[in-house]
Amino acid sequence: MAVTGHQEAAHTDDPLPSVYDMFSGQAEQRPESTAVIQGDVRMTYGQLHSDVIRLSEELLRCGIGPERTVGLLADRSPDLVVGTLAVLRAGGAYVPLGGGLPPERLAFMVRDTAMEYAVADARHRHLPADTALRTVPIRTHSARLAHTPPQPQAPDPSRLAYVLYTSGSTGHPKGVAVEHSGLSNYVHWTVAEFSGGRPVDAYLHTPLSFDFSLTSFFLPLVTGGTLHLAPQDQEAEDLATAIQDPALDLVRLTPSHIEMLAARLAGRQGLRGPRQFVVGGEVLRARHLTALRRLFPGSVVYNHYGPTETVVGRCFLRLDEAAGFRAEEYAPDDPLPIGHPIPGTRLTVDRTDAEQAAEGMGELLISGTGIARGYLNLPDATADAFGTLPDGGGRVYRTGDLVRLDAQGRPVVVGRADGQVKIRGHRVETAEVEALLCAMDGIRAAAVVKAREPRNVLAAFVVLDGPGLPERLRDGLAASLPPYMIPQHFSALGELPLTRHGKLDRRLLQDLFEKEIQVEAGRAGARPASDEPAEPAEAMRRVFALCERILGVRDVRGGDNFVDLGGDSITAMKLATACRREGITVRSIRFLTADTLTDALGGTEVSAAR
């Protein structure tokens, strides 16, 4: 492997305290302080610590210890916090299993980790019949045994801390195995960078299965701050209000979140926000930063980059002039630099691909303390993605992200070396979706691409054994994939297009998708009036006109499905905001979940006046 150029941040070889030890130290120092808050529910550090010890003793009795995985079956609630910390205290490794995962995916994760136990809240004590998993209630523990439970041991830095599943290329997700050394390294850096030597109050609104969440989850608990938990059923509109809480120091966002906030708070500016926004999960563009600064000018914004395999984030950049960053140098759609490596991290650019190098690009490699152990039970995939640097730089992870270096030598992500994409901050290996499609009857080949911005959806193209696109493809995928991985558009082709180098021509497929969207819009405009059961009221007509403008389609009618028209969570937010300006109150979630626009608007408060 020939590599050129690297950035490296210094680090100490002294062992760092575990994340659990940092939390327990805070619990002993400030037992009456509020550790977790969700609505009217508050837990002090003393209460949380007591519940964690009690549950961890139960896990120790079950034989949980080093290298033993334990599932987390809990909604976003104080119970989730208790369960996570209890697994760590017992010496086990936690595996998030919540978030409405499809049964087949959940069963696969249980088998793949060979887990025997999961801690569960009251809603999740009954598992699918095809899993032999035993649950340990978080709140109602079984009767005490006569003997004293084994005492937990301080975790060895090389032991497993958690396993998070990401999209895989074989039709199944991949379990990323992260050790305590990487987790401790990351959390200690967040304390040094974001706390300023004081407790941090952070807001958690994303699932723990998204490693992006670990910043907000652990940072308050290890600094003596308060972890603010969003309600489990919080809708996008509520996020805009919640993050204006003056108590908050830190909120994590994806660029997709920023677009939703901009839609929800359209026309607003100068709002009071948290002390710091930490943005990641997707490519951050200049227009996202501009929108966030306009809304919350008093908040500091950081760009924070890192794949799950490198423990949340390995490089960051404070986006202000004090850090040498000048926003006015960037066009609206320009990707922003991802910054500098955190302590214990080395960034290297691999330019061995001549075609990429000719365009000034190279693949970003990351090495150092925060590299995952590898993929669970996948030695070949681990060998492909992880390796060693030829100059003795240690173990390295190949990110698959193509970068260019800007004038200051900072990496800027400009593309991918493979088919991986991001949908609302979640990683999607298009090969996983393609493999599941190819396993269906009647499909000979399949290709999945992400639509061009601003659309944030997947489109699937299939080559069939016979005529006629098979029905219910979306339903077939839903048994194995979470909603964000399911394509919203399906089309049949005679063959998949290839580039002159013999590779799948994904750019051409994106062009085809855009053209087909316009054709579908034209077909919608040609439908006879009899498709509508009744003439819509004037207010309904205004909603349809707004939908046409926001989605770029024609002749929208009440029988149309918003998602089938090309809508997603961001355009739903924009439509709901535009409706409110017209005196029509409707939640964006209604557009995403209702079968038709008429159903979405049913029961809404409508004002006839413009």
Boundary residue ending a domain (475, 493, 524): 524
Tens digits of residue pLDDT in 44-93: 999 999 999 999 999 999 999 999 999 999 999 999 999 999 999 999 99
CA distance 365 to 6: 9
CA distance 98 to 257: 21
Flag whether 250 is in a domain: yes
Q: Which helix (H) or strand (E) holds 179?
A: strand 174-179
Same domain (yes/no): 42, 92? yes
Report yes or no: 217 and 208 within 8 Å, Cβ to Cβ. yes
| Residue 450: pLDDT band with limits 50, 70, 90 | confident
Report yes or no: 31 and 227 within 8 Å, Cβ to Cβ. no
- What CATH number is associated with residue 140? 3.40.50.12780
Using DSSP, how many helices (H) and how many strands (E) does the chain show?
18, 29
- What CATH number is associated with residue 442? 3.30.300.30
| pLDDT reading at 523 higher than 60 | no
Q: What is the pLDDT of residue 3?
A: 45
Same domain (yes/no): 378, 309? no
Same domain (yes/no): 519, 435? yes
Q: What is the pTM of this model?
A: 0.81
Pairing mode of beta strands 174-179, 374-375: antiparallel
Tens digits of residue pLDDT in 158-210: 999 999 999 876 778 999 999 999 999 999 999 999 999 999 999 999 999 98
Same domain (yes/no): 352, 312? no
Flag whether 13 is in a domain: no
Residue 546, domain extent:
533-606
Flag whether 6 is in a domain: no
**Which range (129-133, 207-211, 518-522) has the least confidence?**
518-522
Tens digits of residue pLDDT in 262-319: 888 888 999 999 999 999 998 999 999 999 999 999 999 999 999 999 999 999 999 9
Boundary residue ending a domain (375, 395, 416): 416
Structure-derived torsion over alpha carbons of residues 465, 469, 470, 476, reported in degrees to the nearest 10: 110
Same domain (yes/no): 495, 580? no
Flag whether 14 is in a domain: no
Flag whether 399 is in a domain: yes
Flag whether 9 is in a domain: no
How large is the average pLDDT for residues 573-601? Answer: 82
Flag whether 297 is in a domain: yes
Boundary residue ending a domain (364, 388, 416): 416
How many C-beta atoms surround the C-beta of residue 348 within 10 A?
23
Same domain (yes/no): 483, 595? no
Same domain (yes/no): 161, 197? yes
Flag whether 551 is in a domain: yes
Q: What is the pLDDT of residue 517?
A: 66
- What CATH number is associated with residue 401? 2.30.38.10
Q: What is the pLDDT of residue 354?
A: 85
Q: Which residues share a beta bridge with 95?
A: 71
Same domain (yes/no): 257, 384? no
Same domain (yes/no): 240, 101? yes
Structure-derived torsion over alpha carbons of residues 263, 265, 269, 272, reported in degrees to the nearest 10: -130
Please list, in sequence order, all residues whose beta carbon lies within 8 angstroms of the beta carbon of residue 216, skipping any fewer than 6 positions away. Answer: 202, 203, 204, 206, 227, 250, 251, 252
Same domain (yes/no): 40, 164? yes
Same domain (yes/no): 509, 562? no
Query: What is the total count of domains within the chain?
Result: 4
CA distance 309 to 386: 9
